[in-house]
Amino acid sequence: MNELVFTVNPQIEQSWKELLINEFQSDYFYRLKTFLIEEKKKYAVYPPGSQIFAAFNYTPFDRVKVVIIGQDPYHGPGQAHGLCFSVPKGVPAPPSLQNIFKEINADLGISIPNHGNLEKWARQGVLLLNATLTVRANQAGSHQNKGWETFTDAAIKALSDKKYGFIFMLWGNYAIAKSKLIDANKHFILTAPHPSPLSASRGFFGCKHFSQTNKLLLQMGKEPIDWSLE
């Protein structure tokens, strides 16, 4: 096993580490690691290194039931902590997350929480996966096309190929494009516009993805997700 595995991959949960070992040992990942080392010499990079793989660490491969795909980590100080759409407690919920809470409230009658930390969802089997796992401070999209998308695409494809009955919630054109990686004969794909204020009123509000997801989980004999954050 080469040194790259130890230097890149100390923080990722074991089942994902085994599943994605070829990615960690690939040339593109070596280039990505080199890029990140250089970035951190010059800029603040989010999330902190220990939280880059948080989505995988909170939701081991064998516990995944639902997958929500985001695009990029938040790029403001203290916002990103490795789970898409989520922010740590004490950090105000960004507009897209506020709209997610509004839809949950309308769909399921669950009260809007006073924080935006989605770890509770992740621990129940909701993989909260950004396509790009790092970002330069205050520069949205700055780490796109550096290799992260190849890595996260491999994770999505592994989920599709090796399991049955996952529910993928794809919001916005970027996430919906990931459906090409998913076998629709084996999994459920729910699509809607992005919850951003720019598009939420064009069909995210009223999509009822949260109740649909729980109905599908119950039909498969699985425990539904408690979408409240109490």
Q: Are 139 and 73 in contact (CB under 8 A)?
A: no
Residue 72 appears among annotated catalytic residues: yes
Point out the catalytic residue in the list 72, 107, 153, 226: 72
Residue 100 three-state SS? helix
- Segments in 130-208 forming alpha helices (H): 148-162, 172-176
Element (H, E) at 200: none
Residue 87 three-state SS? coil
35-50 in b/e burial notation, b at 16+ Cβ within 10 A?
Answer: ebeebeeeeebbbeee
Q: Compute the distance between CA of residue 128 and CA of residue 59 in angstroms, rounded to an integer.
A: 9
Give the active site residues.
72
